[in-house]
Amino acid sequence: MKVSVIGLGYIGLPTATVLASHKVEVVGVDVSKHVVDTVNQGKIHIVEPELDVLVHNAVKNGYLRATIYPEESDIFMVAVPTPFKDNHEPDMSYIESAVKAIAPVLNKGNVVILESTSPVGSTEKITRWMQELRPELTFPVFGEDEVEFDIYVAHCPERVLPGRIIHELIKNDRIIGGMTIRCSEHAKIVYEIFVEAKCIVTDCRAAELSKLVENSFRDVNIAYANEISLICDKLNINVWKLIELANRHPRVDIMRPGPGVGGHCIAVDPWFIVHSAPSESNLIRTSRMVNDNKPKFIFKKIIDAIKLFEKPLSEINICCLGISYKPDIDDLRESPSIEIIDELVAIKPKNIYIVEPNISLLPNSFDADLVKLKPVEEALRLSDIVIILVLHKEFLLIDRGLLRGKKVIDTIGLMSNECS
């Protein structure tokens, strides 16, 4: 069996590597020459525990290699981004480009698996695209198992947590939704190579919506916590103590609020449901709006802190602790911290010091004269205002004496008793 994984990002590379670790011939395909060269050297371009050793061994043993252009394979797994456009409409351009890339090398009996989290109907859409690109091949029709076809097509969404991707790829149940039952069964064979949990077969529409529902459920719960934080701020109540009290109820488990919601899933996927069923998704839409507005609330708190100083803004240094979208990773996608920093750049304080232990370079979009990456102790020593945005493990070890005399805006409860 030869497997091609299209897209070597946070999902594609771990998936390719786990398969290769089970002695499957895997070809990773990525449009970035840097990514391809890095993988072929047995190295990684992302931060993920265990992945570096697994990639090194897979490349060394000859089971994993990377290339820019797809080649003939038995299985094609598409794991490329699915962001949304400015109007929250799903952006299918990356998936479409991947389909166009693999279409010329498809052969009868191949299996095409869409791993990218996608709006309902996406698996059927890529099937139509492939049919248009390769009219001499036959493709499945949703739900019609009695019809013969050449290419098996399925959707198998990942359900992993950054920082635990390798473990969860193997240990989590996997939902496998084919265009037909036979499509599901052919895709299931691939996942049974490395998944130790259950591989649950359904249809592609149910598989697509299940992933969106899972992440929307989490988004709604985070929105509840974030809204509670706004209420507590208005009523001058410590939100961290309030949640600790409420969670003493045996059937209550309120999540921790934060500066917003980021990442490639929770901040994006609910909009796919809203786009597909706008009249029926009022709670999901409202939750998205609550979470999207939280960075604006944090920025207002920063402005309030700035007004407490007697010196002008041009003499105020601001430190931001963390800019990834969650703790202990290097992924900045849709991070609410980035939005907050962009707002700070617009008002032009003297300096904005970023402390982010998981990256070595700041995004090119930042003004390099104003925004600087610094070690934690130096950044705290130089700053007047400290904004705690991400609960990285390194920040748990911060000497609280370094915060003395600073205006501290703690968005994630680092200074609460729970995190002390």
Q: How far apart are CA 29 and CA 7, in angstroms?
A: 6
The answer to whether the beta carbons of residues 74 and 109 sit under 8 Å apart is yes
3-state secondary structure of 370: coil
Sign of CA pseudo-dihedral 60, 30, 211, 144? negative
Closest by CA to 265, choosing from 347, 207, 326, is: 326
3-state secondary structure of 41: coil
Q: How far apart are CA 143 and CA 205, in angstroms?
A: 10
DSSP H or E stretch at residue 377 = helix 376-382
Q: How far apart are CA 342 and CA 178, in angstroms?
A: 42
Q: How far apart are CA 162 and CA 319, in angstroms?
A: 25
DSSP H or E stretch at residue 37 = helix 33-40
| Identity of residue 34 | H
Backbone angles phi, psi at 153, to 5 degrees: -130, 135
Q: How far apart are CA 51 and CA 53, in angstroms?
A: 6
The answer to whether the beta carbons of residues 82 and 90 sit under 8 Å apart is yes
| Identity of residue 15 | T
DSSP H or E stretch at residue 131 = helix 122-133
| Identity of residue 25 | E
Packing angle between helix 33-40 and helix 51-60, nearest 10 degrees? 70
Neighbouring C-beta atoms of residue 368, cutoff 10 Å: 9
State the catalytic residues.
211, 265
CA 267 to chain centroid: 8
Distances (CA, A) of 92 to 26, 82, 272, 348: 25, 6, 11, 36
Closest by CA to 127, choosing from 91, 93, 157, 103, is: 103
Q: How far apart are CA 409 and CA 340, in angstroms?
A: 12
The answer to whether the beta carbons of residues 151 and 162 sit under 8 Å apart is no
